Structure 1
């Protein structure tokens, strides 16, 4: 076995898993890779040797070398997410899932990157276990009727009928009539589904942050947003 890129719950995650994943990713994997708030470094995360990167060594690297270093650190997070998700699926007694493909080219929708952050978006694309876990977390979410009704009341512009849209009806104006809006009974199921999906994603973020809190990373594989490193990248 090659040297570990990280250690998860006492078990090594080999560097060759990160290498295999990188083979599926373009050189510039995703715009803003690792820079979304949902991809923030877990609190208490440490490198393998517990020391920060030597800044003088970093300064000596060429721009391409620095970019590749960040790319590898980003990829490590995606592989760690797959490993943690596979463990979570097993712990929950869910049916076994296929392993993440080491050869399938990674293709992540830009909207998902914007909504989820590139690490989580890539993990959900790459890892069947992560998708299974997200589906399970979504199913666990209870959305109160009051929350659905409140969303409908506060977002009237989203429920204008096609005819009202053609007529340019102001959904918040005095001239808007009840007939200009899709009835609550018809909108309710879609609203509840969207709210449950959003709650499931929040639950996934919370799980991921907690699950990786004790992961130990080898030097050069730390989170790309780790502020103890001179090239950290973490923007909102």
Structure 2
């Protein structure tokens, strides 16, 4: 979005323009700034954090934002688009078929729980990018959860497996009043625990991949990570 004088909304103070051509270089290849701009103006639906917490087109909102907020939003959006591009390349390298976007003009809802668990950048990338979702699903499928880990989780978190009757009676699962019949049988909850642990392991693998993949990214001025302490508006929030 352009303000009078040819200055774009979200440009750094003092007349320093964000790079007019690309937002970043990924292994030396330019990532067009237009992809970040398109993400910023797309309707974002549903709950969320940062640029995900609105229900209408971004331009109307950006007009009333403080310049520092607009700059941070652009940097945040750049991280989402970089994650999307890195995931596209990873899927191509792995021979993974990425489904076409149902509605590329908008971003799907971002659950508050995903923001809390993943951080707003990765949560928004998952909502925005079929490639990110495809890669994460592949990484989750690769994870092996040992039986000992499942059993250990059950034994250490018995408060999660009280029967409805035990909950009504206020049974303390860690006290002497708990009896075997107050707990759901291990065999009844083994599969859900396994899925939960596999999901957690897949997310950990995804974060490890993303950290390595970002090493080949160089950001243009005005598109740095929002937590980068080298610019005055930085904030360490994902």
Structure 2 Cα separation of the partners of residues 119 and 153 of structure 1? 34
Cα offset, 1:98, TM superposition: 2.1
What residue in structure 1 maps to residue 59 of structure 2? none
Structure 2 segments unaligned to the other structure (5+ residues) = 1-19, 53-63
Identify which of 77, 82, 85 aligns with 1:83: 85
Cα offset, 1:104, TM superposition: 1.2
Structure 2 Cα separation of the partners of residues 195 and 16 of structure 1? 38
Higher relative contact order (CA 8 A, sep 6+): 1
Structure 1 Cα separation of the partners of residues 224 and 192 of structure 2? 40
Task: For 1:60-99, list aligned pairs within 5 A.
Answer: 64-98=66-100
Structure 2 Cα separation of the partners of residues 3 and 32 of structure 1? 25
What residue in structure 1 maps to residue 140 of structure 2? 138
Tell me the TM-score normalised to structure 1 length: 0.82
Task: For 1:1-236, list aligned pairs within 5 A.
Answer: 3-24=21-42, 30-31=48-49, 64-98=66-100, 101-235=103-237
Structure 2 Cα separation of the partners of residues 18 and 235 of structure 1? 19
- How many residue pairs align between the two structures? 206
Q: 1:79 to 1:235 in 2, by over 3 A?
A: closer
* Root mean square deviation, CA, Å: 2.1
Secondary structure of the 1:224 match is coil
Secondary structure of the 2:66 match is helix
What residue in structure 2 maps to residue 56 of structure 1? none
Structure 2 Cα separation of the partners of residues 94 and 105 of structure 1? 22
Cα offset, 1:96, TM superposition: 3.7
Structure 1 Cα separation of the partners of residues 146 and 175 of structure 2? 28
Secondary structure of the 1:213 match is helix
Cα offset, 1:97, TM superposition: 3.1
Secondary structure of the 2:172 match is coil
Structure 2 Cα separation of the partners of residues 125 and 63 of structure 1? 24
Q: 1:63 to 1:103 in 2, by over 3 A?
A: closer
